[in-house]
Structure 1
Amino acid sequence: MGQAQQAPGPPLRGPGKQRSNPTPKAGRNLPAATAVGLGMLFLVLGGLLFLPLGFVLVTTTFAVFGVWEIFRALEAAGTRLPIIPVMAGTVAMPLGAYFGGSESLLFAMLISSVAVLLWRSLEGAAGSARGIFAGVFTLAWVPFLISFAVLPLHTSGGRTPVGLWPEGVVPPGAWQIVTLLLLVVSNDTFGYLVGASLGKHPMAPKISPKKTWEGFGGSIAGAMVIGVLACLFVLDKPWWVGAVLAVGMVAAATAGDLAESMVKRELGIKDMSSILPGHGGVMDRLDSIVFASPVAFILFSAVAGT
């Protein structure tokens, strides 16, 4: 996410055969990317506002697909990820965060890490250190971080419904997650628009040559507008809270995007997969959200009394 554009980087291999059809200057199929992005956004927002457990299940599904993509990429690079305990932890963490809060999330992370250690140790010594490190790293990177997007649903009055919101009232925690998603989308959208048209100075040319400082500035400006509007009309917070949230979300989302780009370059791949038309893989969409979720949780907790 946050695709501020510059000159294309060195050619990388993708998960399959690369398409030969021309793409726009932005480097992706805009109609397909827009349709898929809006579909995902409506699916997630629908769960948040009408069926909270549905949102948790959608989040868990995205995490499962993301972990599977990482498993395939690592396996192609010669690292065997202990997929069974990692997948079990991927399912357990968002559900634990929803029903049990932060304590359950931390406990699920701990148990999953121990399970990875024991599972990989029983498979033999060859490559065990890399496999264990990769397993714990994947657990921390995807399901643990993204579960922070679920925590506000538990902390809002301590209610964790399995059906519709009680009395049809959407709690503040759900609106916080809506704001998080809008800020991440605005980071992507405004950074992409400004970077594609004005981007000239790469932020990290060795990691992501298409991400520019101009695009980063566009992300901050656009996210500030969205953040201020969300605080005034949705969250009932002072306008400056929206500015703080915007800067925090853009910084975290950009760090997540660069982190995934670094991992992909290390593995020698262009996209994690091609499952989402116009986007690449699920991890190519989650890269910003997984870093932004814990930052949003911390910032909302810090400004809770304002």
Structure 2
Amino acid sequence: MSRRSVRTGRPQKRGFSLFPRRKASTPGQQSRAGRNLPAAIGVGAALLIPILAGLMFLPLAFVFTVAVLGAVGVWETSRALEVRRIRVPLAPSLAASIAMPLAAYFGGAESLAFASVASVFVLLVWRSLDPAPDATRSIMAGTFTLLWVPFLLSFAMLLVRADGGHLVIATLLLLVVANDTFGYIIGATFGKHAMAPKISPKKSWEGFGGSIGGAIVVGVLCSVFLLGHPVWVGLLLAVATVASATAGDLAESMIKRELGVKDMGTILPGHGGVMDRLDSIVFASPMAYLLSATLVPGLL
């Protein structure tokens, strides 16, 4: 027999959902976009301040911090893939997520390329010796995870090891923060036209415009006062960072939608998982490296 509402006597609809429904938001907790805003601001500042301090004064600590965050991102991705019964070989993947950034920092681009190839080879051998089924899917998922997280993140290490590279990374981080902050504020206030409703319904063109505007201000200021370059360099960095960060955010949203998960993890209150914060940076890091090597060769 169906349960009936006490007030109306009508049958209550019952259904199954992969995720429990959220409780109604209370003042001071959930924002319009669904975030716990005070927690998000506090966690963001707690992450950004020590990372910038390490970048400026103790680069090796910054490198190890990024390597650990990359390893956590790999772990979160592997857990998310298990929802579809895709098992990533965790031990070699975690080892590779540490090895790639260190190889990039101490040995440069050639060492990063060697470490990437070696990591995929070890992953292949490791999984081939495992009698569990679905070895092909497991190897492909592991390779995808390594190339998505630690490999792309290691481009930031290539910048750090260059003269003046720590200032470029600091600018990149500030631009990513500006992209998220201004995009969130403008999108939550004025957003009406979704960019990709089937992938990320809450990301709007208005928010994207806010990201561009805020990043341009930050980019120009950093270019002139931090990097000592003309205004056009700041404009180029701002637009390129917002474009790549947005692409990274949409890419992760598409992966989560395919897997049927809301967040990659719950380790960061107000944000979700580490990968929910790294999604923009992993795409923006190689962009900054490519710009410094091609269009703006004097950036470093």
Structure 2 residue 115 is the aligned partner of structure 1 residue 108: yes
**Alpha-carbon distance in structure 1 between the residues aligned to 2:54 and 2:113:** 24
Q: Residues 280 and 125 from structure 1, CA distance in 2 versus in 1: closer, same or farther, beyond 3 angstroms?
A: closer
**Alpha-carbon distance in structure 2 between the residues aligned to 1:86 and 1:12:** 32
What SS does structure 1 have at the residue aligned with 2:267? coil
Per-residue CA deviation, residues 165-202 of structure 1 (Å, 9 max, x unaligned), is xxxxxxx1100000000011100011111111111111
CA contact (8 A) 1:120 1:132 kept: yes
Letter in 2 for 1:144: F
Alignment correspondent of 1:151 = 158
CA contact (8 A) 2:292 2:298 kept: no
Report deviation, 1:125. 6.9
Alignment correspondent of 1:288 = 280
Alignment correspondent of 2:298 = 305
Alignment correspondent of 1:216 = 208
Q: Structure 2-normalised TM-score?
A: 0.90
* Matches for 1:153-168 after TM superposition, within 5 Å: 153-156=160-163
Alignment correspondent of 2:236 = 244
What SS does structure 1 have at the residue aligned with 2:198? coil
* Matches for 1:32-47 after TM superposition, within 5 Å: 32-47=39-54
* Residue from 104, 117, 123 that aligns with 1:97: 104
Q: Which has the larger radius of gyration?
A: 2
Give the gaps of 5 or more residues in structure 2: 1-15
Structure 2 residue 266 is the aligned partner of structure 1 residue 259: no
Q: Name which structure has the greater RCO, CA cutoff 8 Å, separation 6+.
A: 1
Alignment correspondent of 1:196 = 188
**Alpha-carbon distance in structure 1 between the residues aligned to 2:267 and 2:293:** 35
Structure 2 residue 83 is the aligned partner of structure 1 residue 84: no
Q: Structure 1-normalised TM-score?
A: 0.88
Alignment correspondent of 2:13 = none
Per-residue CA deviation, residues 67-113 of structure 1 (Å, 9 max, x unaligned), is 11111111232001011111111000111111111111111100001
CA contact (8 A) 1:100 1:154 kept: no
Alignment correspondent of 1:160 = none
The list of structure 1 runs, each at least 4 consecutive aligned residues, that deviate by more than 3 angstroms after superposition, is: 11-14
Give the gaps of 5 or more residues in structure 1: 1-10, 157-171
Report deviation, 1:19. 5.3
Alignment correspondent of 2:11 = none
**Alpha-carbon distance in structure 2 between the residues aligned to 1:260 and 1:12:** 22
Structure 2 residue 156 is the aligned partner of structure 1 residue 173: no
Structure 2 residue 224 is the aligned partner of structure 1 residue 232: yes
Letter in 2 for 1:189: T
CA contact (8 A) 2:77 2:264 kept: yes
**Alpha-carbon distance in structure 1 between the residues aligned to 2:251 and 2:160:** 27
Report deviation, 1:210. 0.4
Report deviation, 1:12. 7.4
Report deviation, 1:251. 0.5
CA contact (8 A) 2:33 2:202 kept: no
Alignment correspondent of 1:206 = 198
Structure 2 residue 48 is the aligned partner of structure 1 residue 52: no
**Alpha-carbon distance in structure 2 between the residues aligned to 1:12 and 1:186:** 35
**Identity of counterpart residues, as a percentage?**
59
Report deviation, 1:254. 0.3
Report deviation, 1:295. 0.2
CA contact (8 A) 1:12 1:268 kept: no
Alignment correspondent of 1:142 = 149
Alignment correspondent of 1:61 = 68
Letter in 1 for 2:23: S
**Alpha-carbon distance in structure 2 between the residues aligned to 1:58 and 1:155:** 18
Letter in 2 for 1:37: G
**Alpha-carbon distance in structure 2 between the residues aligned to 1:38 and 1:121:** 43
CA contact (8 A) 1:203 1:212 kept: yes
Number of aligned residue pairs = 279
Q: Residues 73 and 130 from structure 1, CA distance in 2 versus in 1: closer, same or farther, beyond 3 angstroms?
A: same
Per-residue CA deviation, residues 115-160 of structure 1 (Å, 9 max, x unaligned), is 111111111372111101100000000000011111112232xxxx
* Residue from 130, 149, 157 that aligns with 1:123: 130
Per-residue CA deviation, residues 256-286 of structure 1 (Å, 9 max, x unaligned), is 0000000001110001111101000000000
